[in-house]
Chains A and B, each alone.
Chain A
Amino acid sequence: AQSVTQLDSQVPVFEEAPVELRCNYSSSVSVYLFWYVQYPNQGLQLLLKYLSGSTLVKGINGFEAEFNKSQTSFHLRKPSVHISDTAEYFCAVSERAAGNKLTFGGGTRVLVKP
């Protein structure tokens, strides 16, 4: 069985400062990795995904993530946040041989302060 751990439940950050959201996963097989964002009272929107190839993945809204197989991590980063980045961020994995079923972490709430 696979699992996802997001180490920080809340991350306060000042506008224009960098932010890193941590994600670790466990799985006995190869996985695909995802970061989704959820704005208040809305659904989930895909930020970026890692399938294979380059371990540094760039997504929408200036976000990027790095896959580290040895540390089983997929941390999300943005060099300079905006007020509009205030949202909840979810890391997720799916096992390549098991269809599209996603397992989500508990989420990290980012609050950007002016």
Chain B
Amino acid sequence: NAGVMQNPRHLVRRRGQEARLRCSPMKGHSHVYWYRQLPEEGLKFMVYLQKENIIDESGMPKERFSAEFPKEGPSILRIQQVVRGDSAAYFCASSPPVGTQLRDTGELFFGEGSRLTVL
């Protein structure tokens, strides 16, 4: 029973390039969350999606960042024109659909993260 899968685990980009981070939720989970962890800091919420729909993007920077969760395939967090301040670990988490017991407890299941380094 595979957990939340994130790739790549490590990504190096030069300033101005694009970064794409992918997340496949646990089997049976339909909700995906993205969090960012800056060095020496806690996790900050970015965006919450279900299939083909953004539920809450209140934590997303206004520019250069976007997220999607298509009907088929993984969720993707896209960062355009990266800057050094984007260097961080990006974590994806998933949860079951509404109406299932686990959905009501707020528990999230996390992947191992994608570590972005911008040179």
Contact = CB atoms under 8 A, between A and B. Distances in A.
Contacts of B108: 100, 102
Given A43-B111, A44-B110, 19 more contacts: A6-B42, A32-B105, A34-B106, A42-B112, A43-B110, A43-B113, A44-B43, A46-B109, A90-B42, A99-B48, A99-B56, A99-B106, A100-B103, A102-B43, A102-B45, A102-B108, A104-B35, A105-B42, A107-B41
Classify the secondary structure of A's interface with B: loop
Nearest to A103: B45
A107 B42 contact: yes
Contacts, number: 63
B117 interface: no
Interface residues of B, number: 26
A87 to B, nearest CB: 14
Interface in B1-49: 4, 31, 33, 35, 41-45, 48
B52 interface: no
A55 to B, nearest CB: 17
A104 B43 contact: yes
